[in-house]
Amino acid sequence: MIVEKLEVGPLATNCYIISSQSGREGMIIDPGDDARQILSRVKGLKLDIKLIILTHGHMDHVGALKEVKEATGAQIAACADDAKTLGDGSLSILLGIFHPAPPLPDRLLKDGDKIDIGDELHFIVRHTPGHAPGSICFLGEGVVFSGDTLFNYGIGRADLPGGNYNQLIANIRTKLMVLADETIVYPGHGPQTTIGAERRGNPFL
């Protein structure tokens, strides 16, 4: 698996472009802003984007969704619990980020669902509400894309509408901290980390 990270938008959201080692099919996680930058990188990699996946529906993670979907023709996949509130206007005011209303998902995800792109990219959905009702993480071979659930020595904020601190901590402990220490964590903001590093040093856990 090849993982390309782009930092997009005023909150430096991590947008990930993922492809297989041998194929030209790929997917995008959280096109939060800067659609031109994302699409330029996709073109440079000569990828056929099959799916756009959202870790949750906050505007800093979906701001470029409309443009990226129109340019790639890819389907959108998101948790059902966030599907109706993508880019919620009240949250946009709180975050100070404004974009055209994003399109609704083509595919609704729930805990345990499988995502397959070609013969090499395989992920399992883990529903991890707490930062947002529809927060989800994606587990692949030796990696997890954690959105705003778990960061490098940090966790997602739980003070936005729909957030729940106790729920967030419980989901991190029961659904992420059970992974192997060497599992690489690709978060929604900031640098990557590992489950082992967070187990040993995350002050919230």
The token pair that represents 138 in the structure block: 């994606």
Q: How many angstroms separate the CA atoms of 24 and 19, rounded?
A: 7
pLDDT tens digits, residue range 146-205?
A: 999 999 999 999 998 899 999 999 999 999 999 999 999 999 999 999 999 999 999 999
pLDDT tens digits, residue range 124-137?
A: 999 999 999 999 99
pLDDT tens digits, residue range 68-107?
A: 999 999 999 999 998 877 756 556 656 666 667 788 899 9
SS3 13: strand
pTM equals 0.94
Q: What is the CATH number of domain 2-201?
A: 3.60.15.10
Q: What is the pLDDT of residue 163?
A: 94
